[in-house]
Amino acid sequence: MHYSRMLLPTLKETPAEAELISHKLMLRAGMIRKLAAGIYSYLPIGYRVIRKIENIIRQEMNSAGAQELLLPVLNPAELWRESGRWELYGAELMRLKDRHGRDFCLGPTHEEVITDLVRREVRSYRDLPLNLYQIQTKLRDEIRPRFGIMRAREFIMKDAYSFDCNDHDAQISYQQMYEAYNRIFERCGLTFRVVEADSGSIGGSFSHEFMILADSGEERIAYCPNADYSANVERALAVLPDSLNSGEAPSVLAPLEAVDTPNIKTVDELCAFLSCAPENLVKTLILKADDQIILALVRGDHELNLIKLKNLLSADQLELADADTVMQITNAPVGFAGPVGMNKYRIIADNAVKNMINFITGANKTDTHYINVNWGRDAVCEYADIRVAQAGDLCPKCAAALNFCKGIEVGHIFKLGAKYSKALGAVFLDEAGRQQTIIMGCYGIGVGRTMAAAIEQNYDQNGIIWPVAIAPYHVLIMPLDVDNEQVMQLAEDICQQLESLKIECLLDDRDIRPGIKFKDADLIGIPLRLTIGKRDLKKGLAEIKIRKSGKSDKISPDNVVSYIKNALTLL
RNA sequence: CGGGGCGUAGCGCAGCCUGGCAGCGCAUCGGUUUUGGGAACCGAGGGUCGGAGGUUCAAAUCCUCUCGCCCCGACCA
């Protein structure tokens, strides 16, 4: 491809709208352009990368026995009402009406549509198992789209759905996808970690997320240094060392005492005021779970995990109570809540709170806290793991201290069970002629997000450094003296030879200053750069530079093709 | 939805407080000289100052409303 004929508008300056490094570089490298908040066009070079990623996904999905199909983006509301998600999915579902006033939505995911298809077509256990997938644009009315295509309202996703006769087979399907996903991200050349995850509103019994490791990631990962365990902190079990968790029975229970704490509301303020450590405090959070009031207690230095609590309560909705509700329940503004005298409400304390003695809580009275609160005597509650795992917690399998890092969620696989097949009546007849419900799994990969994550992981000051497998081109051929016949002839020649070997080339035939070409080359990040200038060519030399290492070699033009062939296999 | 910020040439911004010819840098087009890491000089084009209404002799600037975008939070496969 000739650069001069391409739509490849690089930018010297970074557009003000971009914050994240991948977003800035994609805009500057002419890969994407914004149409509206969270809605982007993919320009030719960006779309080439998308296609590379899609094709790796296709190959691995196909070889795992999955079949590609394409489902409608526009979905009738009827189907979503049948699964219950017309109501449950909430404002994130893009809804619209047709001219007759009938309700539709734009598919944010396709469990309903695929289950509908399968329930119509599958009759017998002989038709199963099935794994069907598509690569398609999804739409979600994100509350706050951000970070360019990382969290967009319209985005390309691969979604696959497996259908099995029973739980055992479904487990096999899940395992196949687990392995296929590992191969996909390995082939993309990315550093990633597979973590246990919460299955969220998709539902189902368990799930794994595939995380590209990057400091800019929105997800926090807890992992064991011995590789026995890794989980999204949303899910990671919070296990304290035994010494702290089940200490000896308290010897002295001091008497409960109310103290004045004028205008002291936060943990930090309270610690400073009473000169104590956050570990001596118990935070009491007032929550609404489907209109039921819940008091959740965590140690002062811990963070409540809403997802764990929501799962524990089997609640559809769980949110922090507003200030008015807190006032009504505790007779005090936010900041003075505590468990003492609140036993008409359900009180759930984190496990780490269980063995605390003589601790400090709010007194449910303005500007007042209790000190020397003790379980049994002053309040009772139930205990569960309801906090976010943090530094100091242990691996639940081998008791090593957990490490933490950040990641970008690019893949998520779920074992769904019968959630959708039951709601929609997707059944089959087994060998004995009995009607059974199909067991499902679903498996997603954010294609655009994978592209962005790849950049987050592979860049330097000068621009993108593409892994070869997903690079828009393999080689950038850069003749410096475009009006020199020999130089151009050689460039064209090598380009043709490489292309005939299926090595993809971009030939920068623009008649501009070399400096601009070099800058653009680094920005766009094609793995290999071949520079041909009349100066070196007189000496019978051309330069090959590796974008990633910055290393370059000057070699005879005759050897360029074999050199490149070899270099690409090593990268 | 709450909090903060921003909308002026394709991009980055100044001008707004204190009303008075709409500017700068980059990019674009033409020319001359340059030519291995974002050149120099000469010349040119490009704007409903996000939109609507109001105040005023006069509005990019002041007032009201509105739309869009970005960031933080809540939210979220």
Instruction: Identify the residues numbered 416 to 445 in chain A whose C-beta atom is closer than 7 Å to any atom of strand B.
Output: 444
Is residue A249 very low, low, confident or very high in pLDDT (cuts 50, 70, 90)?
Answer: low
Quickly name the fold that domain A242-384 has. Answer: YbaK protein (3.90.960)
Please state, in angstroms and rounded to a whole number, the distance separating the CA atoms of residues A25 and A13.
Answer: 10
Residues 78-117 of A with CB under 7 A from strand B: 90, 92, 108-109
- ipTM score of complex: 0.92
Going by pLDDT thresholds of 50, 70 and 90, the confidence category of residue A253 is confident
Q: How far is A571 from A557, CA to CA, in rounded Å?
A: 21
Best CATH choice for the domain A473-570 from the list 1.10.150.570, 1.10.10.10, 3.50.50.60, 3.40.50.800? 3.40.50.800
Using the structure, give the distance in angstroms from the CA atom of A5 to the C1' atom of B36, rounded to a whole number.
Answer: 23
CA–chain centroid gap for A447, Å, is 11
Q: What's the CATH class of domain A3-237+404-455?
A: alpha beta
Protein-proximal nucleotides of chain B (any atom < 7 Å from a CB): 1, 11-13, 25-27, 34-39, 68-77
pLDDT of residue A191: 95
pLDDT-wise least confident of A146-160, A193-207, A451-465: A193-207
Q: What is the pLDDT of residue A252?
A: 79
pLDDT for res A271: 87
Annotated domain spans of chain A: 3-237+404-455, 242-384, 473-570
**Strand B closer than 7 A to residue A523 Cβ:** yes
Q: Assess contact for A22 and A190: CB atoms under 8 A.
A: no
Which residues are registered as beta bridge partners of A161?
Answer: A132, A442
User: Average per-residue pLDDT in chain A?
Assistant: 92
- Give me the CA A74–C1' B52 separation in Å, rounded: 36
Q: What is the pLDDT of residue A529?
A: 98
**CB A260, CB A368: distance < 8 Å:** yes
Q: pLDDT value at position A66?
A: 98
Rounded distance in angstroms from the CA atom of residue A139 to the C1' atom of nucleotide B26: 37
Please state, as a whole number, how many other Cβ atoms lie within 10 Å of the Cβ of residue A425.
13
Please report, rounded to whole angstroms, the spatial distance between the CA atom of protein residue A100 and the C1' atom of nucleotide B65. 34
- Predicted confidence (pLDDT) per residue in A515-543, tens digit: 999 999 999 999 999 999 999 999 999 99
pTM of the predicted protein model: 0.92
pLDDT at A265 over 80: no
Same fold, A242-384 and A473-570: no
Q: Which nucleotide is nearest to A478 (CA to C1')?
A: B36
- Render A151-172 in DSSP notation, one character per residue: B-SEEEEEEEEEEESSHHHHHH
**Beta strand pairing status for A528-532 and A475-479?**
parallel
Average pLDDT of span A368-373: 93
Residue A277 has pLDDT above 70, yes or no: yes
Q: What's the CA A41/C1' B45 distance, rounded, in angstroms?
A: 29
